[in-house]
Amino acid sequence: MKKVKTYRLIVALFLVLSYIGLGNEKLGNVTVQAQPSEKVYSIVTDTSYAPFEFLDGEGNLIGIDIDLLAAIAEDQGFEYELMNLPFSSGLQAIESGQADGMIAGMGITDERKDSFDFSDPYFQGGSMFAVAADSEIESLEDLKGYNVAVKIGTTGEAIAQELSGEYGFSVTTFEDSVNMYQDVIAGNSQAVIEDAPVMQYAVNTGAVDLRLIGEEMESIPFGFAVNKGNNSELIEMFNAGLTNIQASGEYDEILATYLGNESSEEAVDSSFFGQIRQNWPALSSGLVTTIWITLVAFVLAMFIGILIGLMRSGQSAVLSGIALVYVDIMRGVPLLVLAFFIYFGIPQMTGINLSASVAGILTLSLNAAAYVAENVRGGIQAVAKGQAEAGRSLGLNYGKTMRRIILPQAFKIMIPSFINQFVITLKDTSILSVIGLVELTQTGRIIIARTYQSGNMWLIIGLMYIILITILTKISNRLEKELV
């Protein structure tokens, strides 16, 4: 009776979390609902590029780009959904066909024109260097021998790479603006280069303790982008809508909201418990996503892994060889590369688009299955050879011997390894933020992008992982005792 109750509890928990997770598949994305017959455009944006796009205290995506897109879409009558991705991943999403357009403070450059079609410019801005407020560095000449933080794929990165030889500094790349700023504040880098409006907004609101140096460099226009030769109608609607809202004055009102003298950030409680209290809805949502993605991926990994493990341990040389190739490939490919291939590579090669949730589950399950398979093979080999001989002496064939004698004993040996792999899979969900899945780690990054309070937030995230893994490990250990 006790075993039955435990199984029912686990199954019920799995079903509830799966239902919640599936219902929030686009967690972190903003969807403007359309009629079933209308096309819904997928638009990539960022979440850490204030004042162009960032999350407010209530978890709403706001900013110049967000408000402009909403105004233009309303003016032109088209529907869209926003996909939150790091800037470099967003570029890949456009090129792979995962998204129709991108608006993320994207500079219109000749190099990008080779891969993207751009709208008319909606903003003009250059890049600036900044250093820590108490730094003695006053000019670019003072950066010789020091390190400069840049964001991958941005105009600032291109400028820094070009100037690094002239001024003798080295360059370190980051996925988002927040980590660049934090690297300078921590003293690992001595300067950072970023688009001037973004830098000025962060400094003026007191979000970061930095000081601007030098002049604005290489002012370039910002534009809305689509993949080269695709979605020309979207570009035409964006241009027409932009013209209309500029004529009506709505464009100026949007810019004044974020760049005017009266624009300000609401006060943030930077204390440990204040961060928990203010951000708990977002943190709990990210936690639920982490749990259900892990559960679904691990169940799938167990199914595939057991099958591959049996093939590896079987008598067929062909099946064993196939299983060996699978295990070697999956263990040899870094998880990050696998995630990029499934989410960006497969759509580009086949035209089949996968949601971030599906791509994440496939990434985790295919990777974990290789290790589960090796656990199965190891468990079977750990059973004394005399057990198989005893089965044959009783007249049982290979299949019956495996099912009735070897596997029951091997399964008990495998359980600790399965539990360990489950914990590893749970922690591996943090990698999926690169494809836009808003799990627990990505939730922390999004919150930090708004508050710039990284110390307490990463401590909170770490404690949440520890508590979650401890609870799930206790449940797994109880299940192990009941099965053994």
Compare 160 and 436 and report the one with higher pLDDT: 160
- Is the pTM higher than 0.85? The answer reads no
**Same domain assignment for residues 307 and 450:** yes
Which tokens hold the place of 73?
């879409």
Q: Of the ranges 84-88, 276-280, 298-302, 399-403, which one carries the lowest mean pLDDT score?
A: 399-403
Phi, psi (5° rounding) for residue 139? -150, 170
3-state secondary structure of 389: helix
**What CATH number is given to the structural domain containing 212?**
3.40.190.10
Instruction: Tell me the per-residue pLDDT of 50-84, one tens digit each, with 9 for 90 and over.
Output: 789 887 766 678 899 999 999 999 999 999 999 88
- For residue 146, give the amino acid letter: Y
d(C-alpha 313, C-alpha 407), whole Å: 11
Helix 196-204 × helix 250-259 angle, to 10°? 50
d(C-alpha 354, C-alpha 367), whole Å: 18
Q: What is the per-residue pLDDT for 366?
A: 95
Instruction: Tell me the per-residue pLDDT of 360-381, one tens digit each, with 9 for 90 and over.
Output: 999 999 999 999 998 888 877 7
**What CATH number is given to the structural domain containing 281?**
1.10.3720.10
**Same domain assignment for residues 161 and 299:** no
Q: What is the per-residue pLDDT for 34?
A: 39
Residue 310 has pLDDT above 90, yes or no: no
Give domain status of residue 59, yes or no. yes
Where residue 195 falls (left for φ over 0; alpha for ψ -120 to 50; beta otherwise) is beta
Q: Are β-strands 40-45 and 30-31 bridged in parallel, bridged antiparallel, or unpaired?
A: unpaired
Q: What is the per-residue pLDDT for 35?
A: 41
d(C-alpha 260, C-alpha 385), whole Å: 78
Looking at residues 194-218, what average pLDDT do you find? 81
**Same domain assignment for residues 301 and 252:** no
Q: What is the per-residue pLDDT for 117?
A: 94
Instruction: Tell me the per-residue pLDDT of 36-56, one tens digit each, with 9 for 90 and over.
Output: 436 889 999 987 777 898 877
Q: Of the ranges 186-190, 272-276, 286-290, 331-335, which one carries the lowest mean pLDDT score?
A: 272-276
**Same domain assignment for residues 435 and 383:** yes
Percent of the chain with pLDDT over 90: 36
Residue 172 has pLDDT above 70, yes or no: yes
**Same domain assignment for residues 394 and 476:** yes
Give domain status of residue 404, yes or no. yes
Residue 424 has pLDDT above 80, yes or no: yes
**Same domain assignment for residues 295 and 398:** yes
Instruction: Tell me the per-residue pLDDT of 319-342, one tens digit each, with 9 for 90 and over.
Output: 889 999 999 999 999 999 999 999
Q: What is the per-residue pLDDT for 417?
A: 82
Give domain status of residue 7, yes or no. no
Give domain status of residue 265, yes or no. no
CB neighbours of 432 closer than 8 A, spacing ≥ 6?
293, 339, 356, 360, 363, 364, 439, 442
d(C-alpha 409, C-alpha 412), whole Å: 6
Compare 410 and 351 and report the one with higher pLDDT: 351
d(C-alpha 126, C-alpha 391), whole Å: 77
Give domain status of residue 232, yes or no. yes
Are residues 224 and 123 in contact, defined by beta-carbon separation less than 8 angstroms? no
Instruction: Tell me the per-residue pLDDT of 83-115, one tens digit each, with 9 for 90 and over.
Output: 888 888 888 888 888 889 999 988 898 888 999
**Same domain assignment for residues 447 and 380:** yes
Phi, psi (5° rounding) for residue 60? -90, 140
**Same domain assignment for residues 236 and 295:** no
Percent of the chain with pLDDT over 70: 83
**What mean pLDDT, rounded, does the chain reach?**
82
Residue 186 has pLDDT above 50, yes or no: yes
Compare 89 and 23 and report the one with higher pLDDT: 89
**Same domain assignment for residues 190 and 297:** no
**Same domain assignment for residues 196 and 298:** no
State which H helix or E strand residue 418 sits in.
helix 407-428
Q: CA nearest 131: which of 102, 161, 158, 169?
A: 169
Q: What is the per-residue pLDDT for 60?
A: 79
Give domain status of residue 267, yes or no. no
d(C-alpha 367, C-alpha 326), whole Å: 10
Which tokens hold the place of 51?
């004042």
Give domain status of residue 479, yes or no. yes
d(C-alpha 398, C-alpha 330), whole Å: 29
Instruction: Tell me the per-residue pLDDT of 259-285, one tens digit each, with 9 for 90 and over.
Output: 865 444 555 566 788 888 888 888 888
Domain of residue 40, residue span? 32-121+223-259
Q: Are β-strands 40-45 and 79-84 bridged in parallel, bridged antiparallel, or unpaired?
A: parallel
Number of domains in the chain: 3
d(C-alpha 444, C-alpha 254), whole Å: 28
**Same domain assignment for residues 206 and 327:** no
Looking at residues 147-172, what average pLDDT do you find? 90
Per-residue pLDDT band for 393 (boundaries 50, 70, 90) equals low
Are residues 227 and 116 in contact, defined by beta-carbon separation less than 8 angstroms? yes
- For residue 92, give the amino acid letter: Q
**Same domain assignment for residues 197 and 154:** yes
Looking at residues 185-203, what average pLDDT do you find? 85
Looking at residues 164-179, what average pLDDT do you find? 87
Say how many residues make up the chain.
Answer: 484
Give domain status of residue 16, yes or no. no
d(C-alpha 126, C-alpha 197), whole Å: 8
Compare 200 and 401 and report the one with higher pLDDT: 200
Q: What is the per-residue pLDDT for 384?
A: 65
